[in-house]
Amino acid sequence: MNLSLPPLSLYIHIPWCVQKCPYCDFNSHAQKGIIPETDYIEHLLADLRQDLHRYQANINGRKLHSIFIGGGTPSLFSAESIHYLLTQIHQQIDFNPKIEITLEANPGTAEAERFIGYAQGGVNRISMGIQSFESEKLLKLGRVHDSQEAIQAVSFAQNAAKYGLSSFNLDLMHGLPNQSVKQALDDLQKAISLSPPHLSWYQLTIEPNTMFYYRQPTLPDDDELWDIFEQGHQLITQAGYEQYETSAYAKQGYQCQHNLNYWRFGDYLAIGCGAHGKISSSTGEIIRFSKTKHPKGYMRGDYLYQTHNIKLTDRPFEFFMNRFRLLEPTPKKEFEAFTGLNYQTIQPIIEQALGKNYLTETPSHWQITQHGKLFLNDLLESFLENN
């Protein structure tokens, strides 16, 4: 079996943050003392060298389509360190001429002032975790910036445009503790007024093993959440943003290329504590792997945690799990090219989904319906049941 190779991205995880937010279930660690910035970057580069050697046959000749530096709070690292990291990566693997390089950043003043330095070092997109413009809500969320710093951070990002920062994203939450519909929409209006090229607008969910899970706050009820989403979606689209994924909106030409590659079943190398990757081989293998989660273990040089091949029977679920988050139609030829399966093998499940109005179909594409989005879990489970 032969596979077509999708675009190749790179995810880099920097696990430290100033303090752990009560809603956060990411692999992050509150800063205690001085962060071992220089040592950690050398470990990231050694981790990448191992991966490039391990998957040499799968990567040979491929260029990086995008890089995403996430965390934690990567903007705790200096602009000089990020520049060095990107330069060293470029020496190990070629970049696509139009590569998108994103850095997640805290809106706190100290980090926001580094935006020009990051841009000069090769970063061309910043993603800022604003979450809310209301100081009381930011306090409840455990955020270390205030409303004014959030607004100022946007102005820093706009000023960095002349140094190569071509886009920025604002992360904004709704459905916050004791948040009214009006408060949620006011937050959204404030974000829209700052005119970010990209806006991630998503509902707060309570995840296991977080402080909010053990001490649950009072959240808006389902009716209020629906009103927030319905009215908020209208506000965003009227402002000229296009929704292209469940919680992602962008002005024309500013979709996040890195996330699109995830959602389209693309390939991605992954380095850093707890990072997850996926690599396809032209001979038919698709490998998922993850890295050691805790900095202590990772910085002993024990980078690889586990690896497994995606079985043929699991590939339809794996392909559609993220693909159906997108509003764009799903090309049948990409399903065949990237899974190695003939689309006729899943036609019985597709027929059932068509009958339930979860999907529509043309000779070349599948399209999830609005009704299908409401029953996305049921739709995806049907591919697991087939397995």
Give the residue ranges of DSSP H helices in the chain.
37-54, 56-59, 79-92, 109-112, 115-120, 135-140, 147-159, 181-193, 211-214, 222-238, 257-263, 295-298, 315-323, 332-339, 347-355, 370-374, 376-386
State whether CATH 3.30.360.10 applies to domain 8-261. Answer: no
At residue 386, the pLDDT reads 60
- The mean pLDDT of 301-316, rounded to a whole number, is 96
Say which residues have a Cβ less than 8 Å from residue 6's Cβ, sequence separation at least 6.
261, 264, 265, 266, 267, 280, 338
The letter for the amino acid at 284 is G
Cβ atoms of residues 55 and 10 within 8 Å: no
pLDDT tens, position by position, 89-136: 999 999 999 999 999 998 886 677 899 999 999 999 999 999 999 988
Chain centre distance of CA 296: 25
Please list the residue range(s) of the chain that carry CATH number 1.10.10: 320-386
At residue 173, the pLDDT reads 94
pLDDT tens, position by position, 348-385: 999 999 999 999 999 999 999 999 998 999 999 999 86
Cβ atoms of residues 286 and 315 within 8 Å: yes
Q: For the CA atoms of the chain, what is the radius of gyration?
A: 21
Nearest Cα to 170, choosing from 137, 186, 192?
192
Compute the distance between CA of residue 220 and CA of residue 227 in angstroms, rounded to an integer: 10
- The mean pLDDT of 253-260, rounded to a whole number, is 98
pLDDT tens, position by position, 6-60: 999 999 999 998 877 777 767 777 777 799 999 999 999 999 999 999 999 999 8
Q: What is the pTM of this model?
A: 0.95
Pairing of strands 276-280, 286-291: antiparallel
Compute the distance between CA of residue 78 and CA of residue 124 in angstroms, rounded to an integer: 16
Terminal Cα-to-Cα distance of the chain (whole angstroms)? 20
Please list the residue range(s) of the chain that carry CATH number 3.80.30.20: 8-261
State whether CATH 1.10.10 applies to domain 320-386. Answer: yes
